[in-house]
Amino acid sequence: MKLKSVATSACFSSVALIGLISCDPVKDDTQTEPITLVEDCTSAVGGAAWDEGQPYESVPGIETELADLDLTSLPEQVDISSLLALYRGYIAYALEIDASELGDTLPRDETLEKGELGAVVLGSLLLGDDVLGIDFSFFRRGFHRYYTCSRSFPATLDDFVATYGDYESWDYADMDSVAKCDIRRLRSDTDQRVWVAETLVEDHIRETEVLLGGHREDGAFDFLVYDQEGQLSDRSRFPTLNNGPAVVAAAPYVCTTCHVDTESVESTWAFTLQRPAVGPCAR
């Protein structure tokens, strides 16, 4: 994982700060310290140690397995018409295609041009069996490895604040979270379409998770996780069913399982649900 520093100045909008546009810094009274963004996927983002045997994403070696595949052996148009709506949703999300616009086939070469996530999609289809049509465990491992490091997210909470503002000054509400089974402090800036959730354990912030809207071509949400040290992470701790012990889960996969809209497009689920009602502590 490489990091990129972006100088903050009057010429930068919030869009510029996440690497979508850029301009020459203007040295004036508004100049601040550079913001560090996660730039590419040379190495994984990482996070807390996985629990033994959990989950699929904890299995190492996806980079080598993906590199060993001959993705050009797939047809030029890869048939995805028979895939479940869930799987089509993840394919659309990985490729940043609006769920309503995902067709019955994927153009192989154009998908490869999407970079690592495009290769992950094709690899999972190449390895798929005749029943499901996709190797979803392979997809999950590759999606986890390459999502967080490919979105140009702020590398730390300090960088996040420098990009989107001091979220601690935003209005908030403390709620008994169905996802975390603890108190969660929810903050929002609806103008920027940014929602911040802090998991509180004995008044200590265990992790900070962000729902980011308006930054993707497919209209879905981006999911960011920062650990208790304020570092960008690709995993988060979640309780198990019936108030069981908490486990380390892969982000954004675990986030998407709650924020999925199963009704927006019949053939392809979309990750556009802002306020999910599901979770291990839902009643």
pLDDT digits 0-9 by tens, 116-133 = 999 999 999 999 999 999
> DSSP state, 117?
H
Q: Can you give the pLDDT at residue 243? A: 62
Q: How far apart are CA 60 and CA 145, in angstroms?
A: 10
Q: Give 7-66 as a 3 state SS string.
A: CCCCCCCHHHHCCCCCCCCCCCCCCCCCEEEECCCCCCCCCCCCCCCCCHHHCCCHHHHH
**Cα separation values, 268 from 23, 104, 205, 272, Å:** 38, 11, 35, 12
The crossing angle, in degrees rounded to 10, of helices 85-95 and 136-147 is: 30
Residue type, 225: V
- Burial status of residue 39 (CB atoms within 10 A of its CB: 0-12, 13-18, 19 or more): middle
Q: Can you give the pLDDT at residue 129? A: 96
Place of tokens 């769920």: 99
pLDDT band per the 50, 70, 90 thresholds, residue 24: very low
The overall average pLDDT reported for the chain is: 88
pLDDT band per the 50, 70, 90 thresholds, residue 27: very low
Considering 16-25, 181-190, 212-221, the range whose residues carry the highest mean pLDDT is 212-221
What size, in residues, is the chain?
A: 283
Among the ranges given (155-169, 217-231, 242-256, 260-274), the one the predictor scored with the smallest mean pLDDT: 242-256
Q: How far apart are CA 80 and CA 154, in angstroms?
A: 34
Q: How far apart are CA 166 and CA 183, in angstroms?
A: 21
Nearest to 57 by CA among 127, 129, 147: 147
Q: Can you give the pLDDT at residue 53? A: 79
Q: How far apart are CA 172 and CA 180, in angstroms?
A: 17
Q: Is the pLDDT of residue 15 over 50?
A: no
Q: How far apart are CA 230 and CA 283, in angstroms?
A: 31
* Token reading at 64: 């080598």
Q: Can you give the pLDDT at residue 28? A: 42
Q: Can you give the pLDDT at residue 62? A: 98
What's the whole-model pTM score? 0.87
Q: Which residues contact 38 (CB under 8 A, 6 or more apart)?
A: 1, 2, 3, 4, 45, 148, 149, 151, 152, 153, 154, 155, 232
More confident residue, 113 or 27: 113
Q: Is the pLDDT of residue 37 over 80?
A: yes
The residues that bridge with 36 in the sheet, in sequence order, are 5
Q: What is the mean pLDDT of residues 63-84?
A: 98
More confident residue, 146 or 283: 146
Q: Give 118-174 as a 3 state SS string.
A: HHHHHHHHHCCCCCCCCCHHHHHHHHHHHHHHHCCCECEHHHHHHHHCCHHHCCEEE
Q: Can you give the pLDDT at residue 241? A: 63
pLDDT digits 0-9 by tens, 39-53 = 889 999 999 999 887
Q: Can you give the pLDDT at residue 19? A: 37
Q: Can you give the pLDDT at residue 13? A: 34
First to last CA, the chain: 40
Q: How far apart are CA 250 and CA 47, in angstroms?
A: 10
pLDDT digits 0-9 by tens, 234-254 = 999 887 666 667 789 999 999
Q: How far apart are CA 236 and CA 48, in angstroms?
A: 8
pLDDT band per the 50, 70, 90 thresholds, residue 202: confident
Q: What is the mean pLDDT of residues 165-175?
A: 95
Q: What is the mean pLDDT of residues 268-280?
A: 86
